[in-house]
Amino acid sequence: MLIETQALTKQYRHQRGWLSRAEAVTAVDRVSLQLEQGMTLGLVGESGSGKSTLSRLLLGLEPATSGRILYRGEDITGWSFRRMQPLRAKMQLVFQNSFASFDPLFTVEQIVAEPLLNGPKLSAQERRNKVLELLSLVELDQRYLKRYPHELSGGQQQRVGIARALAPGPELLVCDEPFSSLDFPLRKTMLGLLLRLKRQLGLTVLFITHDLSLVSELCDRVAVMYRGQVVETLPGGQIAGTCTHPYTRQLWQAVPVQAPRYRKPRDLQMKET
């Protein structure tokens, strides 16, 4: 098992008004999940269901209120920032909007090379070769090396974001709505790229999205979050046939039919009529 959570819980305190008493909001509520090495787990749920909070807990960016996180069997719950540092290279995040996370004064080469500065010492030429290798992995031509983020299209920016996340040699890639700002054909292309990278590099992927149609194609398993809880986990390709929770059925029925080959599976269409 690469990473596992046991009854993981995160509460925030919210103060509505100046005089009112602070209330506890449970963003993640006793979530137990398992990610085996090489697996792609989809995490779906509506806005505010706790997906991003769960990913921040997994990456050690926030402390959990209770519960445990195990990485390769070792309990890493509550590890300090310093202690998490070597592990952080193994767990990388791809943002929804990579552009916002780039330094606008950095070229593509500098952006992708930045995480390499924390690893083993490389000469300038070795670092450039590594950047070229990473750009080739995400299918971005080397003529973009000296471009600035604002000179790239949305898809190219996401490719740079993925290349940067791959630079430290991660085992786990957490992708938080990575393609939601792209149009549908490009989203399909990027999904294909992610699938290829996952197979080629043996990555374990946590793919966070609102879109059930995406996860059904990409993921081995899908965990459905609702109000901070994982209400069910399902095999990726058989969501329609296996889901039982009313919230999952509602989410699946909201999947738009994009083209004939993305029509919902026959079994669900029959149940709907």
Ligand X SMILES: Nc1ncnc2c1ncn2[C@@H]1O[C@H](COP(=O)(O)OP(=O)(O)OP(=O)(O)O)[C@@H](O)[C@H]1O
Q: Which residues of the chain form contacts with ligand X (CB under 6 A)? A: 12, 25, 27, 45, 47-53
Closest CA to 206 of 5, 70, 40: 40
CB nearer to ligand X: pick between 10 and 221: 10
φ, ψ for residue 90, nearest 5 deg: -80, -15
- Residue 205, beta-bridge partner list: 40, 173
CB nearer to ligand X: pick between 5 and 49: 49
- Contacts of 250 by beta carbon, 8 Å cutoff, 6+ apart: none
CB nearer to ligand X: pick between 56 and 127: 56
Instruction: State the nearest-atom distance from the C-beta of 20 to ligand X, in Å.
Output: 15
Report helix angle 154-166 to 124-137, nearest 10.
120
Instruction: State the nearest-atom distance from the C-beta of 5 to ligand X, in Å.
Output: 14
Instruction: Please tell me the distance from the alpha carbon of residue 147 to that of residue 109, in angstroms, as a whole number.
Output: 8
Instruction: Please tell me the distance from the alpha carbon of residue 195 to that of residue 35, in angstroms, as a whole number.
Output: 16
**Residue 225 CB neighbours (<10 A):** 25
CB nearer to ligand X: pick between 100 and 117: 100
CB nearer to ligand X: pick between 109 and 177: 177
Tell me how far apart the terminal alpha carbons of the chain are, to the nearest angstrom.
41
Instruction: State the nearest-atom distance from the C-beta of 228 to ligand X, in Å.
Output: 7
Instruction: Please tell me the distance from the alpha carbon of residue 37 to that of residue 42, in angstroms, as a whole number.
Output: 14
Instruction: State the nearest-atom distance from the C-beta of 214 to ligand X, in Å.
Output: 14
CB nearer to ligand X: pick between 31 and 140: 31
Instruction: State the nearest-atom distance from the C-beta of 88 to ligand X, in Å.
Output: 20
Instruction: State the nearest-atom distance from the C-beta of 51 to ligand X, in Å.
Output: 4
